[in-house]
Amino acid sequence: MRIAITLTLAAALAMTACSRANQTQIKEGAQATGADLQAAASTIKNDPDIKQAGTAIKESVVEDSAAIKQAAVAAGDAAKDAAAKTRDATLLAADKTRAAAADAKADIQGK
C-alpha cells in the first residue's frame, strides 16, 4: 500500500514538473514570437519602399481630391448655366405668350 501511494505521489510530482517545464517553454516561445513580430513590424515601418508607397498614396489622395473638387465646381457651373438658359427660355416663351394673347384680344375686339 505504501508503494502505491509512493508511486502515485512520484507520478504526480513528475506530472507537475513536466507541466511547469511545458509552461515555461510555452511562455518563452510566446515571448520569442512577440519579439520576432515586433522586429518585423519595426523592419516594415522603417522600410524605405513602404515609406515611399505611403507618400505616393498621400500624394495621390491630394491629387484625386483636387480633381474631384474641380469636377464639382465644373458641374456647379454647368448647372448654373443650364438654369440661366432655362430661365431665359421661360421668359421668352412667356413674352411670346403675352404677345399672342394681346394679338388675340385685339383681333376679338376689332371684329
HSE, CB side, 13 Å, CA atoms: give it for residue 46: 6
- Cell, residue 81: 448655366
Q: What is the pTM of this model?
A: 0.45
Q: Is the confidence at residue 32, as pLDDT, over 90?
A: no
Q: What are the pLDDT digits (tens) for 34-83? A: 788 888 888 888 888 888 988 999 999 999 999 999 999 999 999 999 99
- Cell, residue 102: 394681346
Could you give the C-alpha distances from 20 to 10, 28, 31, 34, in angstroms and in order? 15, 12, 16, 21
Q: Is the confidence at residue 17, as pLDDT, over 80?
A: no
Residues 18-45, mean pLDDT to the nearest whole number: 79
Task: Look at 8 and 72; give whichever has higher pLDDT.
Answer: 72
Residue 71 zone, left/alpha/beta (φ > 0; ψ -120 to 50; rest): alpha
- Please give the full DSSP string across 36-98, using - where no structure is assigned: HHHHHHHHHHH-HHHHHHHHHHHHHHHHHHHHHHHHHHHHHHHHHHHHHHHHHHHHHHHHHHH
Residue 30 pLDDT class (50, 70, 90 cuts): confident
